[in-house]
Amino acid sequence: MSGAASSPPERGFPTIGPLTGLRGVGHARAARLERLGLKTVRDLLLLQPIRLVVWPVKTSIQAASRRKGERVTIEGRVRRSVLQRIGGKRSVVRATVSDGTGEMDLVFFNQPWMKEQLSSGTQVEAHGSVVEARGASIASPRLGTAASPLPAPGTLAPEYGGGDGVSSDALKAWIDEALERHVGEIEEHLPAEFLEHCDAPGLPVAVPMIHRPATIPDFEYARRRFALEPILTLQAAVFARRSGKAGRARAAKITAEQDAEIRSRYPFTLTDAQSRVIGEIRADLGRTRPMRRLLQGDVGAGKTAVAAYAAMTVAECGGQVAMMAPTEVLASQHAYGLRDLLEGHGLRTALITGSLRTGERRDVTQRLAAGEIDVVFGTHALFSEDVKFRRLDLAVIDEQHRFGVAQRGRLAGKGSDVHVLLMTATPIPRTLALTVYGDLEVSILDGSPPGRGSVRTRWARGDDRRRMPRFLAERLEAGEQIYWVVPRIGETMSDGDSEDAPASTAASAEARFENLVARPTFRQAGIELVHGRLPSVERNSRLDRFRRGDVATVVATTVVEVGVDVPNATIMVIEDAHRLGLAQLHQLRGRIGRGKKDSYCFLLGDKKAEERFRLMERSRDGFLLAEEDLRQRGMGDLLGLRQSGENQEGLVDPERDLDLLLAARDLFQREPGLLRYY
């Protein structure tokens, strides 16, 4: 933990002091914030909002019920409220509100006390996304009362990506306090001409402006300054690598016999493509120049096996390995999936997630520091300060596009003495390759492992749609498994884009779950619900039940999009598929077709997305679909930077910020002295 302002500054700027100087931040909270990458007051002030919410004007209930998927604010009097228990701690409260133009239900999951709070006659304001759940409803709305009304229409409210038990509102409160007390202490280190050229304000202006924007253009102006930070960090890494100042890693050189021994560990024969890429990686690891390799391969191509080779090679030479995934679900899947292979090779593995108890976490970190663990799996929490390695030689980063430019920047800034293997299923557009990925070499893993069943995709409407339940029942009877995906729901963003509201996502998945549980075929074969708002322990244990085959169906939000590997799952139903881009649909579909049996993907959705659905029916070529996606939606989406993943970091959009990327590329050339900040 960094000390007060007088202690050595981090990366060359004054830290403005530790977070424990803020009210309500004790050591426990500070440790949580640190896991989110926030160590100092400066870090907090430089935290980027993940979105800007504009509070809408109130809508009549009649108009609101026609605006499914949109965020609305309504006002009315509660007519009645009903509590329904649906087993265990699960319950649903429906409060019916009327305003004279119509009625609408407010739906609350697992909050039985809402029945009393919204007793008949209560006057309320409610804000949230309109969903279809027994008529137009608002699920998990935010409520306002006469005593504490909702923010006025037009109010601009930045939201922050919390996580690990820290909410956006809590972050906002601490940022407010930091602004009150420390705003005068923020210094700018970039030259004024450069900022002018970038059309971005200096930090002393940008910091208060982004957290308390008066107008949307102000927010956007301030955001450009914030966007520069990760871009510059990344460019500094690209620059260092080009100029040969890349640092030195330990060479992990293995003999031909060791190489053959490692290859013989696999329960299958490596494909030619895997074998070729493994050769490239073996050569990289054998040098002291740190490996920076990007492995691109379509979903299901077998990237994990390649990563395991790199891990075994490094461990063979006495080094430790960190395997990082964007979500806890994926991290634990890697840990379980590779455990046999790695432990069979005599390696000691461990998994660090946010859900470990303090004692367990301490035990793992101590063993890591002592060198008693060879391979550790986790999310980006692996890079927090309390995680120390005895001898970290390799970092593997899976589904790296999900980490975004900001995290790429942070990573590039760390571990210049460590080999890094990045893996992605999303091809990188050439226009960006040089600026964002200029420090990387690229390997392509083409083809897929042999012995896979076919995958048929169908945009299911009319008769197809009607035949679907029967077909699903047959698959369930045959012992196969089903992913039922209910994606997210739109919300107004500062740039007029539609983004997803985690609250309503979870809610509509809940509604579908309720509906399927009521059907005997599904209930009897076992069914689980998984979404991003569940505590990760609970989410993992539900997914584990699905993975083990204890339950046949999982209803999920797009949390299953990346990497989940269940070969026995042969069916995927995607509801509201028109809300998803091609790249995302392709990623989702990559969850099926992993076993020998034939698989089926049903797209349910609006005709307006017909072009996309037809492409999905015709092609399973991820590169082709990604290119098409790029054409339809733009680069930001393709790189996953606008998706709201877990712990998403900020609003960097390479498409919008291409000029910043280009300006940053030249800056260090002209003023290498600035490199000391990054």
Q: Give the separation between CA 613 and CA 392, rounded to whole angstroms.
A: 45
Q: Give the separation between CA 170 and CA 257, rounded to whole angstroms.
A: 56
* Neighbour count for residue 670 (Cβ, 10 Å): 10
What minimum distance in Å lies between the beta carbon of 566 and Mg ion? 13
Residues 577-596 that bind ligand ADP (CB under 6 A): 594
Does 268 interact with ligand ADP (rule: CB under 6 A)?
A: yes
Tokens, residue 588: 């989702």
Binding at 300: pick from ligand ADP, Mg ion, none (beta carbon under 5-8 Å per type) = ligand ADP
| Local structure of residue 290 (DSSP, 8 states) | P
Nearer to Mg ion, 532 or 563 (CB): 563
What minimum distance in Å lies between the beta carbon of 635 and Mg ion? 22
What minimum distance in Å lies between the beta carbon of 34 and ligand ADP? 30
Order the strands of the 375-378 sheet from edge to edge: 349-352, 375-378, 320-324, 392-397, 419-424, 292-297, 441-445
557 contacts: CB under 8 Å, gap ≥ 6:
485, 486, 487, 488, 505, 506, 509, 530, 531, 532
Tokens, residue 24: 């309500």
Residues 449-468 that bind ligand ADP (CB under 6 A): 449
Binding at 305: pick from ligand ADP, Mg ion, none (beta carbon under 5-8 Å per type) = ligand ADP
What minimum distance in Å lies between the beta carbon of 423 and Mg ion? 7
Query: How many residues line the site for ligand ADP (CB under 6 A)?
Result: 19
Q: Which residues pair with 91 in a beta bridge?
A: 85
What minimum distance in Å lies between the beta carbon of 563 and Mg ion? 4
Cα-based distances in Å from 579 to 377, 508, 584: 32, 14, 10
What minimum distance in Å lies between the beta carbon of 300 and ligand ADP? 5
Q: Give the separation between CA 273 and CA 624, rounded to whole angstroms.
A: 19
Tokens, residue 181: 């007390």
Q: Which residues pair with 109 in a beta bridge?
A: 92
Nearest residue to 483 (alpha-carbon basis) of 330, 594, 588: 588
Q: Give the separation between CA 314 and CA 319, rounded to whole angstroms.
A: 5
Among 213, 563, 605, 654, the residue binding Mg ion under the rule CB under 5 A is: 563
Stretch that binds Mg ion, among 92-100, 205-213, 480-488, 563-571 (CB under 5 A): 563-571
Nearer to ligand ADP, 144 or 449 (CB): 449
Nearer to ligand ADP, 90 or 263 (CB): 263
Nearer to ligand ADP, 133 or 310 (CB): 310
* Neighbour count for residue 460 (Cβ, 10 Å): 22
Contact 15, 182 (CB under 8 A): no
Nearer to ligand ADP, 16 or 566 (CB): 566
Stretch that binds ligand ADP, among 126-134, 268-276, 406-414, 626-634 (CB under 6 A): 268-276
Does 337 interact with Mg ion (rule: CB under 5 A)?
A: no
In order, the DSSP letters of 180-203 are: HHHGGG----S-HHHHHHTT---H
Does 299 interact with ligand ADP (rule: CB under 6 A)?
A: yes
Tokens, residue 15: 């830290």
Stretch that binds ligand ADP, among 7-15, 562-570, 572-580, 628-636 (CB under 6 A): 562-570
What minimum distance in Å lies between the beta carbon of 271 and ligand ADP? 5
Nearer to Mg ion, 404 or 563 (CB): 563
Q: Give the separation between CA 272 and CA 302, rounded to whole angstroms.
A: 11
Nearer to ligand ADP, 290 or 563 (CB): 563
Nearer to ligand ADP, 452 or 533 (CB): 452
Q: Give the separation between CA 168 and CA 362, rounded to whole angstroms.
A: 27
Contact mark string toward ligand ADP, 470..509, x via CB under 6 A: ----------------------------------------
Among 230, 290, 300, 427, the residue binding ligand ADP under the rule CB under 6 A is: 300
Angle at 577 between CA 575 and CA 580, to 5 degrees: 130
Binding at 301: pick from Mg ion, ligand ADP, none (beta carbon under 5-8 Å per type) = ligand ADP
What minimum distance in Å lies between the beta carbon of 302 and ligand ADP? 3
Q: Give the separation between CA 604 and CA 592, rounded to whole angstroms.
A: 17
Nearer to ligand ADP, 305 or 397 (CB): 305
Does 304 interact with ligand ADP (rule: CB under 6 A)?
A: yes
Query: How many residues line the site for Mg ion (CB under 5 A)?
Result: 1
Q: End-to-end CA distance of the chain: give it in Å, rounded.
A: 19
Residue nearest to Mg ion (CB): 563
Contact 109, 507 (CB under 8 A): yes
Helix pair 272-285, 256-263: axis angle to 10 deg: 140
Does 270 interact with ligand ADP (rule: CB under 6 A)?
A: yes
Contact mark string toward ligand ADP, 211..250, x via CB under 6 A: ----------------------------------------
Give the H or E element holding residue 572. strand 569-574
What minimum distance in Å lies between the beta carbon of 398 and ligand ADP? 7
Contact 457, 616 (CB under 8 A): yes
Binding at 378: pick from Mg ion, ligand ADP, none (beta carbon under 5-8 Å per type) = none
Contact 185, 14 (CB under 8 A): yes
Stretch that binds ligand ADP, among 166-174, 300-308, 321-329, 491-499 (CB under 6 A): 300-308
Among 49, 201, 302, 654, the residue binding ligand ADP under the rule CB under 6 A is: 302
- Residue owning tokens 């007519």: 79
Nearer to Mg ion, 522 or 546 (CB): 546
List, in sequence order, the alpha helices (H) in 212-268.
216-242, 256-263
Does 487 interact with Mg ion (rule: CB under 5 A)?
A: no
* Residue ranges in contact with ligand ADP by CB under 6 A: 268-271, 274, 297, 299-305, 425, 449, 563, 565, 567, 594
* Residue ranges in contact with Mg ion by CB under 5 A: 563
